[in-house]
Amino acid sequence: MTVPTTGTADYSEKIPNNVNLHEDRRLQRALESWQPNFLHWWQTMGPTLPTQDVYLRTAINVGRDGWAQFGHVAMPEYRWGIFLAERDPGRKVGFGEHKGEPVWDKVPGEYRAELQRLIVIQGDTEPASVEQQRNLGATAPSLYDLRNLFQVNVEEGRHLWAMVYLLHAYFGREGREEAEELLHRNSGSLDSPRILGAFNEETPDWLSFFMFTYFTDRDGKYQLGTLKESAFDPLSRTCEFMLKEEAHHMMVGTTGVDRVVQRTVEVMREHDTDEVAGLGAIPLPVIQKYLNFHYSVSLDLFGGETSTNVANYYTAGLKGRWMEDRRQDDHQLTSDSIMVDSLSQDATTGEQSIGQTEVSALVGLNTDLRREYIADCQGGVKRWNRILEEGGVRQRLKLPHVAFNRRVGAFAGIEATPDGEQLSVAEWQRRQGEWLPTDVDKTYVRSLMQPVHQRGKIAAWIAPPRNGINGKPFDYDYVHLA
Ligand code: BYC
């Protein structure tokens, strides 16, 4: 079994790690035999644009200072490693029926299946996103953006390693089989798709990529935040370190949308018109439709408004709440309740309406997490609206209603407008193009996606970033193409 970690990674090893992998030969051999399969997956399902090297960040230490180093790296030689945040020897379970007991270094038999399921679902999303983004390099708006795409990709690859390590180290043969499956399922595959809906959608253009890294990666932030609370200490420590890397992915999404909005505002002002489609910028209504799509499919990732699964996870100590230790309650929630979004049916007319209902707090935990996420998403919209305001433009962006375009949970069976008005299926079919990207919108956005691979240059539909990476200027040679 594995032993306590030190902060620094051992880079002399085939698989860099801070878990003393060399002391567990069986585990090391098992992971070393998974490694070529991972590399094969990266070569066949990873980024398609040929490159010589990319200016990448590689994790070298899990401590507070200087945890990463930057340098030009040939991507297939990137050192994907296994890093767990440092152990807190006195850590206690923070919630649920085991609250106050020491955390677990091994998987308790009674929770094995649930823990494995959570780890597999988390692990499945990581390679999925790399698959979804694999062709974007060919249309990157600048070398800076290209480098950020690849940084996100290699780190999602490392997050897959993080989950595969847990499966191999703690879940025996079944864990090893699941680790293989993580490479066999593919985003969008008809025969063996990825587990969660949003990870089977395409990311065909850079506006989608920025929306995905803003909205969908942010689900990752919140889910990892709840798994970081887990009583299963190796999962907690793994997620803690993943969250550190995740911050860059959020930055890519937030500033990416900033820059698209900024450029649109500039073109609107320059030409004194809202009709920027013919002028090489992305019209605000199209940005709003992309936002509507990515936000609503990301809301689905939180599961149903009520879920006995999540209640069981919490009670068992497997998955906590966002910022569990800041919550002012008993951290067991057995006698608490929560209002959740729901569909209620009128007893006499049978008509369904969007409303709220009171349920036990445990069963409503997906809603609790989704609400934390929604509040965070408001932050992005506020920031983009500030750019519109400062640019003297009167239009504003907004988050659609929670019932809009939902395929999981209470509103899966109905259709609603972004303002939350219910619609018949026929009316939804007729009008959805007002709110979700149409083929015409997508074709237009794709037509703008002409690659700009020259150093210091940028496409016309997006503003340059305010800062480069790691103190380097925007016109740095972030990527050398093959
Ligand atoms: N699509 O009881 P319910 C990231 C299934 S993103 C398809 O409400 P629960 C990243 C569900 O499995 C973060 N199916 O669900 C981002 C269940 O199936 P069974 C990923 C769905 O369990 C960007 C049934 O519906 N991590 O890291 O309470 C780039 C009933 O649902 C979906 C995690 O998600 C869906 N969207 O909650 C890279 C954390 N939603 O049991 C990476 C781990 C639900 O009836 N996962 N179903 O067959 C979990 O915590 C929970 O499993 C979920 C679902 C929150 C996903």
Average pLDDT of every residue of the chain: 95
Pick from 309, 314, 368 the residue to mutate for probing ligand 1's pocket: most ligand atoms within 8 Å of its CB: 309
pLDDT tens digits, 409-443: 999 999 999 999 999 999 999 999 999 999 999 99
Look at the block and give the residue holding tokens 């919490």.
314
d(CA 342, CA 344): 6
Whether the predicted pLDDT of 402 surpasses 90: yes
d(CA 43, CA 28): 23
Atom of ligand 1 nearest to the CA of 156: 38
Task: Please name which of 254, 247, 194 lies closest in space to residue 220, comparing C-alpha atoms.
Answer: 247
Ligand 1 pocket, residue 119 CB under 6 Å: no
Whether the predicted pLDDT of 345 surpasses 90: no
Ligand 1 pocket, residue 223 CB under 6 Å: yes
Sign of CA dihedral 415, 421, 424, 425: negative
Ligand 1 pocket, residue 240 CB under 6 Å: no
Listed in sequence order, the residues at least 6 apart from 286 whose beta carbon sits closer than 8 Å to its beta carbon are 207, 277, 437, 441, 444, 445
The alpha carbon of 197 and the centre of ligand 1 are apart by a number of angstroms equal to 9
Ligand 1 pocket, residue 311 CB under 6 Å: no
The alpha carbon of 126 and the centre of ligand 1 are apart by a number of angstroms equal to 13
d(CA 416, CA 401): 8
Give the least confident one: 133-142, 199-208, 349-358, 403-412.
349-358
What letter represents residue 369's amino acid?
L
Atom of ligand 1 nearest to the CA of 128: 38
**Structure confidence at residue 2 as a pLDDT band (50, 70, 90):** very low
Mean pLDDT of 307-332: 98
Take residue 478 and report the two structure tokens written for it.
């972030």
Task: Please name which of 66, 13, 2 lies closest in space to residue 35, comparing C-alpha atoms.
Answer: 13
Q: Which DSSP symbol is given to 481?
A: E
Q: What is the CA radius of gyration of the chain?
A: 23
Task: Please name which of 404, 408, 401 lies closest in space to residue 436, comparing C-alpha atoms.
Answer: 404
The DSSP bridge pattern shows strands 479-481 and 422-423 to be: unpaired
The alpha carbon of 195 and the centre of ligand 1 are apart by a number of angstroms equal to 8
The alpha carbon of 370 and the centre of ligand 1 are apart by a number of angstroms equal to 12
Task: Please name which of 325, 296, 321 lies closest in space to residue 311, comparing C-alpha atoms.
Answer: 321
Task: Please name which of 129, 115, 310 lies closest in space to residue 212, comparing C-alpha atoms.
Answer: 129
pLDDT tens digits, 23-49: 999 999 999 999 999 999 999 999 999
d(CA 160, CA 128): 10
**Structure confidence at residue 14 as a pLDDT band (50, 70, 90):** confident
The DSSP bridge pattern shows strands 479-481 and 337-345 to be: unpaired
The answer to whether 344 and 357 are in contact (CB under 8 A) is yes
Atom of ligand 1 nearest to the CA of 297: 36
Ligand 1 pocket, residue 30 CB under 6 Å: no
Ligand 1 pocket, residue 126 CB under 6 Å: yes
CB 94: neighbour CB atoms within 10 A? 20
d(CA 210, CA 255): 8
**Model pLDDT, residue 342:** 96
Ligand 1 pocket, residue 130 CB under 6 Å: no
Give the DSSP per-residue string, 195-224: SSGGGGS---SHHHHHHIIIIIHHHHHHHH
**Model pLDDT, residue 64:** 66
**Model pLDDT, residue 4:** 44
The DSSP bridge pattern shows strands 51-59 and 68-73 to be: antiparallel
Listed in sequence order, the residues at least 6 apart from 372 whose beta carbon sits closer than 8 Å to its beta carbon are 222, 322, 323
pLDDT tens digits, 252-288: 999 999 999 999 999 999 999 999 999 999 999 999 9
Take residue 17 and report the two structure tokens written for it.
């790690």
The alpha carbon of 332 and the centre of ligand 1 are apart by a number of angstroms equal to 22
d(CA 151, CA 157): 10
Pick from 111, 116, 120, 122 the residue to mutate for probing ligand 1's pocket: most ligand atoms within 8 Å of its CB: 122
Indicate the burial class of 109 (C-beta count within 10 angstroms; 0-12, 13-18, 19 or more): exposed
- Model pTM score: 0.95
**DSSP collapsed to 3 states, 302-313:** CCCCCCHHHHHH
Atom of ligand 1 nearest to the CA of 302: 55
Ligand 1 pocket, residue 121 CB under 6 Å: yes
d(CA 379, CA 399): 11
The answer to whether 108 and 97 are in contact (CB under 8 A) is no
**Model pLDDT, residue 5:** 47
Take residue 292 and report the two structure tokens written for it.
């509507």
CB 179: neighbour CB atoms within 10 A? 26
Closest C-alpha to ligand 1, atom 49:
118
Ligand 1 pocket, residue 118 CB under 6 Å: yes
Whether the predicted pLDDT of 123 surpasses 50: yes
Look at the block and give the residue holding tokens 């940084």.
151
Sign of CA dihedral 430, 435, 440, 443: negative
Closest C-alpha to ligand 1, atom 2:
307
Ligand 1 pocket, residue 303 CB under 6 Å: yes
Give the least confident one: 57-61, 118-122, 269-273.
57-61
Closest C-alpha to ligand 1, atom 27:
220
